[in-house]
């Protein structure tokens, strides 16, 4: 397992982290027992960063993680988010959201609290209400660091430019088929020493030859992703889902990404992904070829 420092937080974190959405049942039914086994396996494999949110399983992910971490809380850097989609991102709702997360997680503090889905609020509300609530909670010792999350890179840029947070999290923006985070976001985060967390290195299942169900009706996107995948055949391994390994290594060895998240309820899949966290990336000539294929071309 490789470890790094998560930007200005100073947290020593595993370069691969466990994502909480599948643990809440968002990608298929699961059980408390399965989640506990997966978390125990993750800890045994050296993973010390777990990321979740109230939205995942409508609180079930947090509840299950809290249950699984009884007696082991000090072994992990625990991250969650606020608020839940559909709720105004007001100061009061933010405080309430975090208090409810603390209860479900069965902990006195959250290492990293993140504003979830910037797409669901405005920059003004985020800066004037959500972030001040986070700072108040930090004063009280209930959170240790503050971050923001968004799929759209342009929404994250003001928070980087104004140096408002300790971390940023995005997803599917440094993958083999869409590496648009490389252009502006990653260089600026590095300059500001703001830790970067990257989710969905398999681009919503596309690089695992199994696009997420919510993409199935987006025929134009699937057609374009298939076109890009054909141009990546030079990286494909012979085994089933042969682009998974190069895709994971691509994100895990990016020097400007602190944590790459893997979300799974399968211990076998977890073990495979951890095996890719050994510091070995694509060859220089392979990277050059990838970066020449789709420069500046967003997919999702």
Q: Which pLDDT value is given to residue 146?
A: 98
Per residue in 12-21, pLDDT tens?
A: 999 999 998 8
All domains in the chain, ordered by first residue: 3-204+250-280 (3.20.20.100)
Percent of the chain scoring above 70 in pLDDT: 100
Average pLDDT over residues 101-128: 96
User: Given pLDDT bands bounded at 50, 70 and 90, which one contains residue 107?
Assistant: very high
State both tokens at 181.
Answer: 């985070």
Beta-strand relationship, 167-171 and 259-262: unpaired
Structural contact between residues 110 and 46, judged by C-beta atoms closer than 8 angstroms: no
Q: Supply the DSSP string of 203-242, one letter for each residue.
A: TTTGGGT---GGGTT-HHHHHHHHHHHHTTGGG--SSSST
- Check whether 57 has a pLDDT greater than 90: no
Q: Which pLDDT value is given to residue 18?
A: 96
Per residue in 206-217, pLDDT tens?
A: 999 988 888 889
**Residues known to be catalytic:** 56
Per residue in 148-173, pLDDT tens?
A: 999 999 999 999 999 999 999 999 99
For the chain, the average pLDDT equals 95
Average pLDDT over residues 134-150: 98
Q: What is the pTM of this model?
A: 0.94
Rounded distance between C-alpha atoms, residue 294 and residue 300, angstroms: 13
Rounded distance between C-alpha atoms, residue 198 and residue 252, angstroms: 9
- Check whether 143 has a pLDDT greater than 90: yes
Structural contact between residues 155 and 161, judged by C-beta atoms closer than 8 angstroms: no
Per residue in 192-249, pLDDT tens?
A: 999 999 999 999 999 999 888 888 899 999 999 999 999 999 999 988 889 999 999 9
Per residue in 246-296, pLDDT tens?
A: 999 999 999 999 999 998 888 999 999 999 999 999 999 999 999 999 999
């Amino acid at each position: 397992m490789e470890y790094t420092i998560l930007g200005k937080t100073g947290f020593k974190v595993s370069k691969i982290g466990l994502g909480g959405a599948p643990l809440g049942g968002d990608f298929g039914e699961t059980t408390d027992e399965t989640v506990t086994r997966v978390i125990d396996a993750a800890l045994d494999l050296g993973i010390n960063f777990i990321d979740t949110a109230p939205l995942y399983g409508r609180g079930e992910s947090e509840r299950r993680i809290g249950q699984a971490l009884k007696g082991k809380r000090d072994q992990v850097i625990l991250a969650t988010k606020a608020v839940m989609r559909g709720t105004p991102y007001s100061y009061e709702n933010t405080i309430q959201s975090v208090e409810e997360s603390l209860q479900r997680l069965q902990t006195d503090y959250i290492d990293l609290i993140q504003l979830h889905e910037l797409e669901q609020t405005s920059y003004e509300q985020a800066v004037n209400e959500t972030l001040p609530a986070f700072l108040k909670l930090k004063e009280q010792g209930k959170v240790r660091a503050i971050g923001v999350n968004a799929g759209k890179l342009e929404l994250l840029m003001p928070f980087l430019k104004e140096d408002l947070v300790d971390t940023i999290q995005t997803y599917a923006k440094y993958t083999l088929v869409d590496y648009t985070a490389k252009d502006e976001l990653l260089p600026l985060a590095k300059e500001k020493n703001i830790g970067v967390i990257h989710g969905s290195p398999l681009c919503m299942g596309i690089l695992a030859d199994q696009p997420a169900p919510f993409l199935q009706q987006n025929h134009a996107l699937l057609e374009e992703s298939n076109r890009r995948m054909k141009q990546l055949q030079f990286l494909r391994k012979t085994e089933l889902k042969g682009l998974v390994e190069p895709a994971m290594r691509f994100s895990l060895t990016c020097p400007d990404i602190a944590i790459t998240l893997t979300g799974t309820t399968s211990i076998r899949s977890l073990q495979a992904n951890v095996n890719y966290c050994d510091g070995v990336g694509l060859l220089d000539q392979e990277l050059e070829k990838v970066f020449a294929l789709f420069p500046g071309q967003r997919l999702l």
